[in-house]
């Protein structure tokens, strides 16, 4: 059994907490953490793509809750695979499961971000997913609330990244600069993959973007 509560200790003692988790079970609470991160990141993506213009709030929330654990798990596995492979080229001593454990437990601060999203949904409803706030009339008090929410989410993201760097440097046996370099190289690979996928989609389907699906004659 763990000698500490990882949910609280990870905030202040990330290295000590990660060390105990990987020694106990690298997959400890993986699906719970996948759900937390998956829900928060899906909320962010859905606000960008504005599904509220077409779908109801219940449909958006139900979709997010159903997909969240699988989306979070996929992100953890994919990014950890890249970080692990790049790390091995840099003489990392960490295993893949340990790298994924760091990725998942570094996302504990996203539990606060998820709570903020729930509060925003409670106050703004489906308007939150309708090109918010451009297409939404909000008061100065509401705007202050939105800015505070953004500040909290930014703080939680920064804290999560701090935990991730600390934990990753521990299990890989790297110093902080080398750990950050490992992450940067992995993110460059992700950027290239996204660029290639986007280019393939545009080249394959781009014709349909300029051709209306339905035409009318008068």
Q: Are 90 and 19 in contact (CB under 8 A)?
A: no
Q: How many CB atoms lie within 10 A of CB 47?
A: 18
Cα dist from 138 to 124, 141, 146, 162, 206, whole Å: 9, 8, 10, 34, 37
Distance CA 94, CA 11 (A): 22
Do residues 67 and 38 lie in contact, with contact meaning Cβ atoms separated by under 8 Å? yes
Query: CA–CA separation, 28 vs 120, rounded Å?
Result: 30
For CA atoms 29, 31, 32, 34, the dihedral sign is positive
- Residue 202: which region, alpha, beta or left (left: phi > 0; alpha: psi -120 to 50)? alpha
This prediction has a pTM of 0.85
pLDDT for position 126: 87
pLDDT in tens, the chain (218 residues): 788 999 999 999 999 999 999 999 999 999 999 999 999 999 999 988 888 888 899 999 999 999 999 999 999 999 999 999 999 999 999 999 999 999 999 999 999 999 999 999 988 888 888 876 665 666 777 778 888 999 999 999 999 999 999 999 999 999 999 999 999 999 999 888 888 887 777 676 655 555 444 444 44
């Amino acid at each position: 059994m763990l000698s500490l509560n990882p949910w609280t200790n990870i905030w202040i003692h990330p290295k000590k907490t990660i060390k105990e988790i990987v020694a106990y079970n690298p997959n400890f609470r993986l699906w719970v953490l996948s759900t937390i991160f998956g829900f928060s990141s899906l909320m962010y993506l859905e606000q960008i793509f504005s599904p509220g213009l077409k779908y109801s709030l219940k449909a958006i929330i139900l979709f997010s809750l159903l997909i969240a654990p699988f989306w979070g798990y996929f992100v953890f596995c994919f990014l950890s695979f890249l970080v692990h492979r790049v790390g091995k080229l840099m003489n990392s001593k960490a295993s893949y499961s340990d790298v994924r454990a760091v990725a998942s437990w570094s996302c504990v601060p996203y539990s606060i971000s998820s709570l903020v999203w729930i509060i925003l949904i409670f106050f703004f409803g489906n308007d939150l997913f309708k090109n918010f706030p451009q297409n939404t009339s909000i008061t100065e008090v509401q705007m202050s609330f939105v800015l505070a929410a953004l500040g909290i989410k930014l703080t939680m993201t920064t804290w999560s990244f701090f935990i991730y760097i600390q934990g990753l440097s521990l299990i890989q046996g790297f110093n902080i600069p080398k750990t950050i370099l490992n992450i940067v190289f992995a993110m460059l690979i992700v950027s290239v993959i996204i660029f290639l996928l986007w280019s393939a989609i545009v080249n394959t389907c781009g014709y349909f973007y300029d051709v209306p699906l339905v035409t009318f004659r008068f």
